[in-house]
């Protein structure tokens, strides 16, 4: 193993001649290893002076990408357990997670302290992240050596507090393999959130494997724009770059309007590896015209696709179009990031599969627990040094998930005669929509909290572009007048935008079995029938067509939409939904929008104009 | 050559300063240097370019009807192009002498391309500064290629310091200069010319023939050399500009020749003359004739260039008629013979056609044709 501990890693990166090398490039700001290590050192000094101890849990929740990476790695260095809490998480969920975490400290964006009811306490480590506002005349201020007002005003907030920390000697606690490194909450309801506990052993075993499979070196430049409160962002971004003394690139926060910038960024920033989810690849495939040379650089090595199923056609199309190799990896938060790899180089490869387990074991069993034969479907289990320790303060969930060191992935898979694994279905109740994991019970819980709702059930229905989309079947009280738009408005502050159901169907009663269990397959069938009926009544009027498509794609009731709505005014109009919106219209009218037209469709009015012209030209 | 040396001299500090500046200011020295260069060698050109740049950009951006805006831009550019090329200023006593703004043919065609692409909605989002950077781009201002806006913008957005590209650029400039000075000026114009002179009395036909070979070879070498320098200079600034030549004398037919000779112009004529005419008329021959007439007129609006263009149009049409016919299929069974014959015929057609434009006027060309054909 290249580095077997956090101590070894830090000894190496403080000793070698890489201090001037860029560790991270975020948008246009570069941070050298020296700056980064100074930041880690100062934070460790701050932890010591504020009596944070090894094993303490600190909630990390900031929207600043660099600070997220800096704090996480500073915590790792000092043995503090990071509790990741996405700053985008709605209040109710955030409060539940905070309660469950029972943390000894908080590092959060300033406004989150109030909205999440974290009260000032001298017994806790509390650090408010409050960025200085970029003021005009910064250059002159610097020349005149003027202190910025923000710095002077709030010296106890971060990063201003760093200025008051000197070069003090600090004692770094000794960290064992079995120590907890971080907790990442993945699923569960607000009453019983599930936090995945990852140890240093899990983490370093994973870093070692990822580096080997991706063929990383100190020349590697990891282009990772995935969310940092997800393992594919934080582990396969800054931490993996640091582990290899490479560079972490984050030139943008991705949305559909930045697709051109994304294409430019691979050459511009000399990326060697690009980490993405199939949804981003789907976008790249759709907008590829004139950008086919994007990866044809002397630096570029691999695209790494993770988080959800990579459609075989998309895989082949991207590889052929961009003349690039995709590594498809399969994993879960419980395996740190990845476990099975359809890799390249020295490793065997079969397009359309999730490859083979590397540095871990995988088996497929039937319902009796016996290992199945080749090409026979069963439950996928994984065992290895990268498999997590258990769910945080949740022994029941842990014992259900782990048996004799094997974790039940909840996925149905088969293995072929050459040993390649293929994911064919899922038993755990989760919807993977455009690379984002959505736990339906979490959404149902929020729907059920509406006073007019009797019960509900959320399911994932297959979608050719985003894999699956979440829809809800809802039963409302007989005398209630609840409609889609009211319910969506109710849900918006309670759920993250990607958790909002893409459609809501009202049922008189949910189909149930004899035991009273809701029959999701029946719901799926009934929804399909309802959808077909809706399609038959699809209006031919352009405005109505646009609104119907928008309603379906953005998860908003038609009567809530105005033709003046834009990508900014509609919450659900994200990259994934944009793709759906376009595709629905293309299918409906049997047309194909040009790249420039698709790029221009950023408001309903413009979309209508482009559609009308397209139809007129036909 | 003098203008080229001037551009190269100016480019040295421009390239250095450009890379030393913060990224968002890096194109500024290039644009300023281009403007200063034009102000020095052709102030009229600077004025025309500056005015048309602003008119083209803002007309397309603000005019309510895109079709009308594009038409306004095309009419504006074409009118200016014709005004100078037909010397209307001199004829109308607006100008004292016949003068053609430096680089007019290139930046006119770039702007027409920009307008048509805007009409096709194929222009990515960009700013006036991007457009100015495109039109005021020192390496290609003098002698092309007629590079397209979209790839330019792509390079503009993704360019970065790339030592490999920089050294390729330096190499390319050296190749270009070697082509112009050693092969063109020394071997062809000096040595080969002396040889032709020395045999003229004893072998007049051969001397005439070799003179045509020398003229066409030199035209290619000079133009390709200049293009190499333009492409090389662009590389020094982080841009990969389209190639303009691809061994044209190895073309196996005349259509193939135009895919290898002055590629940026022939592609321009294909996209913005041939295809529109084909769309309107559904007649390939008419479309080819229109394209080649425009191609000829781009060089010079004169009878000899129009005839030259028409001659190539006829040849391309004949080639398309012949292609796939029984004799062509039969010859395909002997690929080497077909290829050799194709290269020989194409090359000699090109040599023959260039007689039209190598002489001062059409009568002298006719005289030369007579001598070459023993008439």
pLDDT tens digits for range B174-193: 999 999 999 999 999 999 99
Confidence of residue A537 (pLDDT cuts 50, 70, 90): very low
Helix, strand or coil, per DSSP, at residue A110 = helix
**Distance between CA atoms of residues A505 and A476, nearest Å:** 11
**Distance between CA atoms of residues A65 and A251, nearest Å:** 11
Would you call B157 and A268 a contact, using CB atoms and an 8 Å cutoff? yes
Ordered structural domains, chain A, with CATH: 431-533 (3.30.300.30), 541-617 (1.10.1200.10)
Selecting from A264, A597, A599 the residue whose C-beta is nearest the C-beta of B157 gives A264
Q: Lowest-confidence range among A237-246, A285-294, A573-582, A597-606?
A: A573-582
Selecting from B151, B160, B164 the residue whose C-beta is nearest the C-beta of A298 gives B164
Residue A335 DSSP code: G
A616 touches chain B (CB under 8 A): no
DSSP string, B222-284: HHHHHHHHHHHHHHHTT--PPP--S-GGG-SSHHHHHTTSSHHHHHHHIIIIIHHHHHHH--H
Write B200-205 long-range contacts (CB < 8 A, 24+).
B204/B371, B205/B371, B205/B372, B205/B374
Q: Provide the pLDDT for residue A271.
A: 98
Characterise B282 by phi-psi region: left (phi > 0), alpha (psi -120 to 50), beta (else).
left
For A32, other C-beta atoms within 10 Å of its C-beta total 15
Closest-CA residue of B relative to A269 is: B160
Selecting from A28, A267, A597 the residue whose C-beta is nearest the C-beta of B158 gives A267
Q: Which two tokens stand for residue A547?
A: 């609104």
Closest-CA residue of A relative to B153 is: A264
Would you call A264 and B164 a contact, using CB atoms and an 8 Å cutoff? no
CA distance A272 to chain B (A): 15
Interface contacts A/B by beta carbons within 8 Å:
33
Which residue, among A560, A572, A556, A551, has the nearest Cα to A255 in the 3D structure? A572
Give the rounded percent of residues in chain B with a pLDDT score beyond 90: 79
Which residue, among A222, A196, A194, A195, has the nearest Cα to A207 in the 3D structure? A222
Residue B95 DSSP code: S
B contact set with A (CB within 8 A): 23, 121-125, 150-151, 154, 157-160, 164
Selecting from A28, A269, A596 the residue whose C-beta is nearest the C-beta of B121 gives A596
Q: Which two tokens stand for residue A283?
A: 């976008």
Q: Lowest-confidence range among A2-16, A18-32, A194-208?
A: A2-16
**Distance between CA atoms of residues A232 and A337, nearest Å:** 6
Checking ipTM against 0.90, whether it exceeds it is no
Would you call B124 and A596 a contact, using CB atoms and an 8 Å cutoff? yes
Would you call B151 and A290 a contact, using CB atoms and an 8 Å cutoff? yes
- Residue-wise pLDDT for B66-85, tens only, equals 999 999 999 999 999 999 99
List C-alpha distances in Å: A528 to A190, A474, A487, A585: 30, 15, 21, 19
Burial of B299 (0-12, 13-18, 19+ CB in 10 A): middle
A25 touches chain B (CB under 8 A): no
Q: Find chain A residues with C-beta within 8 A of B159's C-beta.
A: 268
Residue A429 has pLDDT above 90, yes or no: no
Which residue, among A188, A204, A242, has the nearest Cα to A220 in the 3D structure? A242
**Distance between CA atoms of residues A600 and B125, nearest Å:** 9
CA distance A583 to chain B (A): 20
Give the residue from B154, B160, B163 with the most A CB atoms within 10 Å of its CB, the best one to mutate. B154
Q: Which two tokens stand for residue B158?
A: 């993704």
Helix, strand or coil, per DSSP, at residue A600 = helix
Q: Which two tokens stand for residue B333?
A: 């069974």
Would you call B122 and A594 a contact, using CB atoms and an 8 Å cutoff? yes
Beta carbons within 8 Å of A213's beta carbon, 6+ residues apart: A327, A329, A338, A341, A343, A347, A358
Q: Provide the pLDDT for residue A1.
A: 47
Domain boundary assignment for chain B: 2-158, 163-236, 248-372
Q: Provide the pLDDT for residue A541.
A: 60
Q: Provide the pLDDT for residue A552.
A: 85
CA distance A267 to chain B (A): 6
Residue B110 has pLDDT above 70, yes or no: yes
The mean pLDDT of chain A is: 87
CA distance B135 to chain A (A): 21
Selecting from B23, B123, B154 the residue whose C-beta is nearest the C-beta of A264 gives B154
Q: Find chain B residues with C-beta within 8 A of A268's C-beta.
A: 157-160
Q: Provide the pLDDT for residue A584.
A: 87
List C-alpha distances in Å: A316 to A136, A294, A350, A525: 49, 17, 11, 32
Q: Find chain A residues with C-beta within 8 A of B23's C-beta.
A: 28
**Distance between CA atoms of residues A232 and A436, nearest Å:** 11
Burial of B279 (0-12, 13-18, 19+ CB in 10 A): exposed
CA distance A595 to chain B (A): 8
Peptide bond into A159 cis (omega under 30): yes
The answer to whether the CB of A223 falls within 8 A of the CB of A284 is no
Would you call A267 and B160 a contact, using CB atoms and an 8 Å cutoff? yes
Selecting from A260, A269, A597 the residue whose C-beta is nearest the C-beta of B121 gives A597
- Residue-wise pLDDT for B243-291, tens only, equals 999 999 999 999 999 999 999 999 999 889 988 888 777 777 898 999 9
**Distance between CA atoms of residues B349 and B212, nearest Å:** 12
Helices B43-62 & B66-85, crossing angle to 10 degrees? Answer: 160
CA distance A579 to chain B (A): 19
Residue A111 has pLDDT above 80, yes or no: yes
For residue A411, which phi and psi values (nearest 5 degrees)?
Answer: -110, 150
Would you call B125 and A264 a contact, using CB atoms and an 8 Å cutoff? no
Helices B362-372 & B335-358, crossing angle to 10 degrees? Answer: 140
């Amino acid at each position: 193993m290249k580095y077997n501990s956090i101590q070894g890693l830090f000894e190496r990166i403080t000793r070698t001649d890489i201090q001037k090398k860029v560790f991270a490039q975020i948008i246009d700001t570069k941070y050298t290893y020296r700056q980064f290590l100074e930041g880690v050192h100062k934070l460790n000094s701050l932890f010591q002076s504020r009596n944070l101890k090894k094993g303490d849990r600190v909630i990390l929740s900031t929207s600043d990408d660099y600070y997220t990476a800096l704090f996480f790695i500073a915590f790792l260095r000092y043995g503090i357990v990071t509790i990741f809490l996405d700053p985008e998480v709605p209040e109710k969920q955030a409060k539940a997670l905070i309660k469950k975490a029972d943390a000894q400290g908080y590092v959060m964006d300033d406004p989150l302290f109030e909205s999440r009811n974290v009260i000032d306490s001298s017994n806790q480590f509390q650090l408010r992240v409050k960025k200085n506002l970029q003021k005009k005349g910064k250059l002159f201020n610097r020349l005149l050596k003027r202190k910025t007002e923000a710095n002077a005003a709030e010296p106890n907030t971060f990063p201003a507090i760093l200025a008051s920390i000197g070069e003090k000697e600090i004692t770094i606690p000794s960290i064992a393999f079995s120590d907890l490194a971080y907790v990442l909450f993945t699923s569960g309801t607000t009453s019983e959130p599930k936090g995945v506990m990852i140890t240093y052993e899990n983490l370093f075993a994973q870093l070692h494997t990822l580096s080997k499979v991706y063929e990383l070196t100190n020349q590697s430049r990891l282009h990772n724009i995935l969310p940092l409160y997800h393992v594919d962002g934080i582990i396969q971004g800054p931490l993996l770059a640091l582990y290899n003394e490479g560079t972490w690139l984050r030139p943008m926060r991705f949305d559909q309007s930045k697709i051109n910038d994304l294409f430019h960024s691979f050459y511009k920033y000399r990326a060697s590896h690009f980490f993405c989810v199939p949804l981003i690849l789907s976008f790249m495939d759709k907008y590829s015209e004139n950008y086919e040379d994007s990866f044809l650089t002397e630096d570029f090595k691999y695209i790494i696709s993770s988080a959800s199923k990579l459609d075989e056609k998309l895989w082949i199309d991207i590889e052929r179009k961009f003349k690039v190799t995709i590594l498809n990896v399969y994993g879960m938060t419980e395996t740190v990031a990845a476990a099975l790899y359809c890799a390249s180089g020295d490793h065997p490869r079969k397009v359309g599969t999730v490859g083979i387990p590397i540095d871990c074991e995988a088996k497929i069993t039937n319902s009796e627990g016996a290992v199945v034969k080749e090409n026979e479907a069963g439950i996928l289990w994984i065992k290895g040094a990268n498999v997590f320790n258990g769910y945080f303060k949740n022994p029941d969930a842990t014992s259900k998930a782990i048996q004799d060191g094997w974790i039940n992935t909840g996925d149905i898979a088969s293995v072929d005669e050459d040993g390649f694994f293929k994911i064919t279905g899922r038993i755990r109740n989760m919807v993977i929509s455009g690379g984002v994991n959505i736990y339906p019970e979490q959404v149902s819980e929020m729907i059920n909290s509406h006073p007019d709702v009797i019960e509900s059930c959320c399911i994932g229905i297959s979608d050719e572009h985003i894999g699956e989309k979440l829809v809800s079947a809802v039963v409302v009280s007989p005398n209630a007048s609840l409609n889609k738009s009211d319910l969506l408005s109710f849900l918006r502050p309670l759920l993250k935008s990607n958790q909002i159901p893409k459609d809501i169907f009202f049922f008189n009663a949910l189909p149930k079995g004899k035991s009273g269990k809701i029959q999701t397959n029946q719901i799926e069938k009934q929804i399909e029938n309802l959808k077909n009926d809706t399609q038959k009544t699809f209006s031919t009027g352009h405005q109505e067509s646009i609104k119907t498509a928008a309603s379906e794609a953005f998860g908003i009731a038609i009567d809530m939409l105005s033709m003046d709505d834009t990508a900014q005014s509609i919450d659900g109009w994200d990259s994934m939904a944009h793709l759906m919106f376009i595709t629905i219209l293309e299918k409906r009218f049997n047309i194909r929008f040009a790249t420039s037209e698709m790029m221009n469709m950023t408001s309903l009015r413009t979309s209508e104009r482009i559609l009308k012209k397209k139809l007129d030209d036909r | 050559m003098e203008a080229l040396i001037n551009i190269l001299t100016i480019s040295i500090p421009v390239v250095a300063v450009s890379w030393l500046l913060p990224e968002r200011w890096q194109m500024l020295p290039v644009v300023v240097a281009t403007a200063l260069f034009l102000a020095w060698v052709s102030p009229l050109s600077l004025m025309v370019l500056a005015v048309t740049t602003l008119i083209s950009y803002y007309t397309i951006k603000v005019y309510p009807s895109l079709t009308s805006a594009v038409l306004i831009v095309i009419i504006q550019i074409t009118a200016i192009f014709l005004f100078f090329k037909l010397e209307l200023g001199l004829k109308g006593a607006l100008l004292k002498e016949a003068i053609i703004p430096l680089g007019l043919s290139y930046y006119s065609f770039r702007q027409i391309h920009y307008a048509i692409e805007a009409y096709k909605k194929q222009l990515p989002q960009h700013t006036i500064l991007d457009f100015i950077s495109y039109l005021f781009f020192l390496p290609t201002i003098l002698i092309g290629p007629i590079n397209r806006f979209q790839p330019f913008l792509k390079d503009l957005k993704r360019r970065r310091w790339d030592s490999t590209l920089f050294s390729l650029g330096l190499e390319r400039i050296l190749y270009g200069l070697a082509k112009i000075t050693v092969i063109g000026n020394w071997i062809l114009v000096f040595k080969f010319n002396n040889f032709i002179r020395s045999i003229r009395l004893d072998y007049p036909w051969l001397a005439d023939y070799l003179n045509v070979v020398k003229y066409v070879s030199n035209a290619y070498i000079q133009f390709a050399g200049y293009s190499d320098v333009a492409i090389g200079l662009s590389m020094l600034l982080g841009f990969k500009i389209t190639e303009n030549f691809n061994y044209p004398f190895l073309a196996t037919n005349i259509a193939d020749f135009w895919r290898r000779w002055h590629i940026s112009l022939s592609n321009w004529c294909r996209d913005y003359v041939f295809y529109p005419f084909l769309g309107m008329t559904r007649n390939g021959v008419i479309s080819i004739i229109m394209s080649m007439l425009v191609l000829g007129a781009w060089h010079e609006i004169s009878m000899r260039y129009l005839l030259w263009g028409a001659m190539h149009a006829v040849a391309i049409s004949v080639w398309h008629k012949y292609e796939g016919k029984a004799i062509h299929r039969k010859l395909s069974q002997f690929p080497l013979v077909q290829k050799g014959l194709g290269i020989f015929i194409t090359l000699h057609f090109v040599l023959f056609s260039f007689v039209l434009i190598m002489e001062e006027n059409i009568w002298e060309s006719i005289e030369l044709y007579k001598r070459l054909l023993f008439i």
